[in-house]
Structure 1
C-alpha cells in the first residue's frame, strides 16, 4: 500500500531557513539539473513492459495538501497499485502537508531540505512558486499529452506563467448561493438569479423569519469578485505585460458600491459580518440564523458539524450565483499538480502526475476530496446532476473566471487585502471614489513590481 505520513512541519512557528554557504541558487541550478535529467532519461527511451532500469526510483514522494483522510489514503493506494503495473519496484509515498504549513515546507525544500517529486499547489499559487524556482517546466510534456486537450482550458492556462507550463489542474471548486429550501417555499420564492431578486428574496426572508436574509462579509474577495465580474467589471487586466488596475472603472465601482450597499443601504446583510469572512455566516446558516450566503461545496460538511439541529442542513440547497442581470461568474478555485524542480526522477514523476491528473484518477481524486473534476465532459455524470447542491456547482462551473495570473496577486490580496479593505472602508462611510482610486493605485503598483 502507499506509504503515508504527516508532514513534520507544523502550522506554527515558521523556521528560519538558512541557505548553506556556497549553495548555488535553486532556481537556476536545480531547475536546470532536473530539466537536463528529464532530457537524458527521455533520450535513453524505455523498452519492455515495466520500463524498469537502473534509474528507476525505489519510491516517489507526493505532497498532498490538507489533512489525511481515509478516502484520500484509499485514493493513493489505488494510484500506487496502478503505477506499479508499469513500475513495479517504485513505491508511492504520500505526505499530507497542512495548507498553512506549505510556505514553510516549500522554503525548506527550496533550500535543499526534504522535497517531494510531485506536489499539489493551489491554482492561484502556481506562478508564485514558479518564479522561486520550485517547479519544473513541463510545457513540452503537457503539449504532448493527449488528455490535456480535454481539460478545462482556462484552468490549464492558469497553470502557466510567462509562457511556461508549470502546473496541471487536478480538481476544481466554485462558490454558489446557499439557501433554505423550506423558507423560500414559505415565501413563495425561487432562488434569486439577479441582484434585484437577491434583495427582494432576502427582504422577504427577514420579514417572515426575523433573521438576516443574506450575508455580505467584507473580507471575502472571492464573493466580491463575482459581483464585479457580473457587472462587466474587472479587478485588473494585463496590457502587453503591464498590469492595469480596474477597481475605479465605472462597472467595478458600481458593483462594489452595490455589494457594500447590501449592508448600508438595503440592510439585508447585518453589521456583524463587516470585517469578517464567510466562516461566521456559515455557522449562522447551519443554525437557522441566516437565509442565504455564498460559499463553496465544501461548506456543507462544515455546516453538518456545526448545526445544533442536523435536520436544518437537510433543508439547505444551492443555486448558481445571482449577477447584475443573470448568473454571475465565479472564481474557479482548486489545485494543480506540479513537479518539484529538484526531483531526481523527472520522467517518472511526470508519469505519476499524468496518472493522478488523468480523467480516471483525476475524477477519483475530486470525488474523494469533495471537489469537481477539471474535465468538463465529466460534469454531466449523474452524480453531479442528480444532487441539487452538486448540480448547482456543476452549472456554475460553466461560468467562471480567474484572478490576475501573477505571483504579485498574493501580495495584493492575501497580504494587503486591497479589495476587502476598500469594501470595508466604503461600508464604514468613506467616499467610494477616493477609496477606489487609492486602492487601484496600490493594486497597480503591486502587480507591476519586478518579480525577483
Structure 2
C-alpha cells in the first residue's frame, strides 16, 4: 500500500536532543552509539508526524542519550530514485520505511539488512500480525518489520442512504441496487469503479474465491483464468460497461479522481483507504459535507470482501555503519507504543491485531469500518517481480480497461494470465 502522493521537496528534520527515563531496549552498547542516526520516512513533513518523531527520539535517548535522530521525509514518487542513489553510494539512511509490497524487491537488490539475528530476542514479533510479518521476508530471511497497516473500505453518503432507508451494500447485488437508487434520487453516479485500481480489482477477485497467483513447485502460476477471477473481473468492468453505475470518466483513472467527486457531493460511493478523509478535507469546497460521509467494509460477492493488507515496513539499510543501534531504533519505532503512535498520527492502523480493540478505532464510524475490514485481508504475491507485474506493466488494470472497452473476457484474461505468470517467474537479476 502508499501515503497520498503530495508534491513536496524532501525535508530533513533534526530533532532536538532530550533525555528521560525508559528506553529503546538496550540491545546495543550505549558507549558505542553514534552521534546520530538517519531515518527515511515516505511522505511529507506534517506536524503530527514531526511530533511523533520527537517522541521517538526522546524514547531512544533514554538508552542512547548522545544519539540524535535525523528524519528525512521523502515523497513516495521520489522513493525509487532516492533508494537507488543511496545504493550507488549517495546519502543513505540507517532506518528506512518501504511499502510492504516493496520489501522483497529492495531486499533482492541488496538495499536492506537481514534482521533475523538482531530481532531474535525481540518479544514484540510474536504480537505482530503474523501474515504481515511473513510478508516482510525474502528468501527465508526477515528484512522488514510491519510498522502500520492500511486497508480500503467503502465510503458512502450516509445522509443519502438514510433518506432512502437503505443500508450500505454488503454484497455485489446490493452494490448495484444502492448505486442505482442513488443515481435515481440524487442525479449523480452511485459508485466509482476506476480501472487503474489494482487494489480494488483484487478485492473483487478475492471475494469471489479467486486468486491473483499462487506458488506451485517453486514457481508462480497466474490464476486469472479461473472461473472465479474471470467472473469477478467481468462484474467489476460491467459496473461501467453493463450496469452503467460507474461513469466513463473513471475509465483509465485511479481512485484519486472519484475522491474529489466524493468530497464535493458528486458521487454516492467509492473505495479508498482511511487516509482518504484527510485528502477529502483538502478537496472539499464545503467542509460541512464531509460530516455526511461514512464508511463500511467493502462489499463482496456474498459478504465482506478481503482487502489488500497494505501498509509499510521498517527496515535497516544495508550500508549502515551501526546495524545494532539502527535496529534498536527500528524497535522503538515499531513496538506497540511506536507503531500505534505512528498509525494514529498518519491515519492508519497499528500492525498489532490486539490494539484494534482500542475505543479510538471502534467509536469513529470510518475507523470502525477499517478495523472491521482489517479482519478480512489478503496479500499480493510475495516476490520482487510483483512490482514489475503491477507497477511497470499494470497487467490487471490493463485487462480491466480492455474489457470495459469491449474486449472478450476469456481472451483478455488468458493473455493477462500468461503475462503475469511469465513476469513473476522471470529471473531476478
Partner residue, 2:366: 389
Partner residue, 1:440: 417
C-alpha distance in 2, partners of 1:52/1:347?
11
2:193 is the counterpart of 1:216: yes
C-alpha distance in 2, partners of 1:286/1:52?
50
C-alpha distance in 2, partners of 1:94/1:50?
21
Contact 1:6 1:68 in 2 (8 A): no
Partner residue, 1:19: none
Partner residue, 2:406: 429
Partner residue, 2:169: 192
Measured against aligned partners, the alpha-carbon deviations of 1:44-89 in whole angstroms (never above 9, x if no partner) come to xxxx999432x32111111111111111111111111111111111
Measured against aligned partners, the alpha-carbon deviations of 1:289-320 in whole angstroms (never above 9, x if no partner) come to 11000000111111111111211110000000
User: SS in structure 2 opposite 1:412?
Assistant: helix
Q: 2:30 aligns with which of 48, 52, 56?
A: 52
C-alpha distance in 2, partners of 1:394/1:268?
28
Partner residue, 1:18: none
Q: 2:292 aligns with which of 315, 322, 328?
A: 315
C-alpha distance in 1, partners of 2:143/2:29?
25
C-alpha distance in 2, partners of 1:74/1:190?
39
Contact 1:142 1:165 in 2 (8 A): no
Partner residue, 1:77: 54
Q: 1:357 aligns with which of 334, 345, 364?
A: 334
C-alpha distance in 2, partners of 1:342/1:267?
53
2:347 is the counterpart of 1:370: yes
Measured against aligned partners, the alpha-carbon deviations of 1:327-358 in whole angstroms (never above 9, x if no partner) come to 00000111100000111101101111111100
Pair 1:6–1:208, CA change in 2 (3 A) = closer
* Deviation of 1:186 (Å): 1.1
Measured against aligned partners, the alpha-carbon deviations of 1:140-180 in whole angstroms (never above 9, x if no partner) come to 33342111010011110110011110000001110000000
2:281 is the counterpart of 1:304: yes
Pair 1:298–1:151, CA change in 2 (3 A) = same
What aligned pairs does 1:63-142 form with structure 2 within 5 A after superposition? 63-142=40-119
C-alpha distance in 2, partners of 1:199/1:81?
52
2:345 is the counterpart of 1:345: no
C-alpha distance in 2, partners of 1:52/1:397?
38
C-alpha distance in 1, partners of 2:90/2:173?
55
Structure 2 portions without partners, runs of 5+: 1-7, 13-25
2:160 is the counterpart of 1:183: yes
Contact 1:298 1:371 in 2 (8 A): yes
Pair 1:57–1:442, CA change in 2 (3 A) = same
Structure 1 portions without partners, runs of 5+: 10-47
Contact 1:49 1:86 in 2 (8 A): no
What aligned pairs does 1:235-246 form with structure 2 within 5 A after superposition? 235-246=212-223
Q: Using structure 2 for the length normalisation, give the TM-score.
A: 0.93
Contact 2:11 2:73 in 1 (8 A): no
C-alpha distance in 1, partners of 2:175/2:158?
15
What aligned pairs does 1:254-269 form with structure 2 within 5 A after superposition? 254-269=231-246
Measured against aligned partners, the alpha-carbon deviations of 1:368-388 in whole angstroms (never above 9, x if no partner) come to 111110001101101100000
Contact 2:118 2:324 in 1 (8 A): no
User: SS in structure 1 opposite 2:350?
Assistant: coil
**TM-align CA RMSD:** 1.5
TM superposition outliers: structure 1 runs of 4+ over 3 Å: 5-9, 48-51
Q: Give the structure with higher Rg (CA).
A: 1
Contact 2:11 2:45 in 1 (8 A): no
Partner residue, 2:181: 204
Contact 1:50 1:85 in 2 (8 A): no
Aligned length: 409
C-alpha distance in 1, partners of 2:27/2:288?
54
C-alpha distance in 1, partners of 2:191/2:94?
44
